[in-house]
Amino acid sequence: MRTNGILLPIFSLSSPYGIGTLGKEAFDFIDFLKEAGCSYWQILPVGPTGFGDSPYQSPSAFAGNPYFIDLRILCREGWLQEQALQSIDFGKDPHKVDYEKLYLNRFEVLRVGADRFLENAQENTLSDFENFCEENSFWLDSYALFSALHDRYHCAFYDWPKEYRTREKEALKRAEAELSSDIAFYKILQYWFFSQWQTLHDYAKKAGVGFIGDMPIYVAPDSADVWAHPEIFLLDENGRPSSVAGCPPDAFSADGQLWGNPLYDWSALKETDYAWWCERLKFAGKLYDVVRIDHFRAFDAYFSIPTGEKTAKNGVWKQGPGEEFFQSVHQKIGKLHIIAEDLGQITDSVRALLKSVGYPGMAVLEFAFDPNGDSRYLPHNIEKNSVVYTGTHDNDTIEGYLKNAPKSERRFCIDYLRLSANEGYNWGMMRAAMATAADTCILQMQDFMGLSEGARINTPGTSEGNWQWRMEGSCINSWLAGIIRQNTALYRRLGNQKA
């Protein structure tokens, strides 16, 4: 079945409170996707963001981002007063997220709401909250305590006093008693997030729209996961990574990429039959309809860089868990709907692993147009069991790409795809993606709007100006949906949507 979808981060939705949320605009976008004949909404990771605001560096592999909690829904439920929100500065620019303003002001608002919740919630609501806490205790208890301790010490957990850093039982009991109100606050935030998410997800299912969620393969070094499960990571005696993740030097980066995430102790994980990973994938399988696993190649071989290195030059490749990992996961929780992010320099062993598990890989047109090569991402080489993109969140928009690409690459792209200014380069490139043999085609919302590099989501290797772009609500309209639907139908990608 051929399908189409749109990539749009939740934070990029419009809203009156500084960032896209799980509120009205998200429901409106699902209506837009249905009208456009799209089967999927692909989003970025929905976890809380830490330093740098990247959704790929979250303090939890399970928690939801409190910024995405819709404040208007909390007002309707009686936990907040809409009038009191009008004077709060959540950011002045409707086209960019101001994370500093959100960090300074949104949590104060949410604390007011949480206090009202504890004071005024009806018995059935409190019972629902308690059931949520019990069902999610395997991650929620440690995350809430981790967050409360973080607020107390204002530093990474490996710099906490030793009794908390090493999770001494008596110290944790003492902290749970002393920080009970803060712990309750963080649990309420998660209850609100997942309640709103479930309502949105149910609405999407009725509309025939599935969510493609994004799972970073690694977790942040300062995360509840590393703190609560140090035995499954490669750490030193203080809880810091003994080696870190990244990518080797290549044609794009002479120094490689130094990500800094802790690496997994795959031997220790194997002894538990990969229990933590099974919980993570099972949880993601309930949250999303399809899970995109970022940096899939690390399951075959991962790049290990000694801690303290300034670049990735001295890293080495090490063997990952391979096919055995997926066999174990499939036996325990069943086979999930997964997209494998297999971009970059892919070896024969990675291709063999992908073939053995049967997951579709990815093809990105913006990586295809080396005028001297025959890239596997050129439309004539794209396989059926794959997901095609013109670009991902790490790429420029189509207009930005063609504006900034080397002249020879730009010329090859235009000639190969027969692009014309009359049609619009963005529309020509998107049509080319839809016309490929790939089962699924995912296109960026910015490209339907014809935006240039100012609407780019992320530029790898940079630390400023990322994860900020937001669109105006007026861009979601029937005129644009109609044009998308015409192309979706033309290239036989209506999927479950009615013709």
- Burial code (b: 16+ CB inside 10 Å, e: under 16) for 459-481 equals eeeeeeebbbbbbebeebeeebb
- Residue reference for tokens 């249905």: 34
Helix runs in 335-461, H state only: 348-357, 398-404, 407-417, 425-435, 445-448
Quickly count: other Cβ atoms within 10 Å of residue 406's Cβ.
11
Contact 249, 217 (CB under 8 A): no
The single residue of 294, 300, 366, 447 carrying the catalytic annotation is: 294
- Please tell me the distance from the alpha carbon of residue 173 to that of residue 40, in angstroms, as a whole number: 45
The single residue of 141, 182, 300, 341 carrying the catalytic annotation is: 341
CB-based contacts of 110: which residues, under 8 Å, 6+ apart?
Answer: 66, 69, 185, 189
Contact 434, 494 (CB under 8 A): no
Strand partners, 233: 264
Residue 142, SS3?
helix
The full DSSP string for 110-130 is HHHHHHHHHHH--HHHHHHHH
Active site residue 394: yes
The full DSSP string for 231-259 is GGB-B-TTSSBSEEEEE--BTTBTT-EEE
Contact 263, 241 (CB under 8 A): yes
The single residue of 128, 370, 394, 409 carrying the catalytic annotation is: 394
Q: What is the DSSP letter of 48?
A: P
Nearest-10 crossing angle of helices 275-287, 137-153: 100
Nearest-10 crossing angle of helices 169-178, 137-153: 80
Active site residue 341: yes
Strand partners, 494: 3
Closest CA to 214 of 302, 300, 284, 297: 284
Active site residue 273: no
Q: What is the DSSP letter of 42?
A: E
Quickly count: other Cβ atoms within 10 Å of residue 165's Cβ.
19
**Residues designated catalytic:** 294, 341, 394
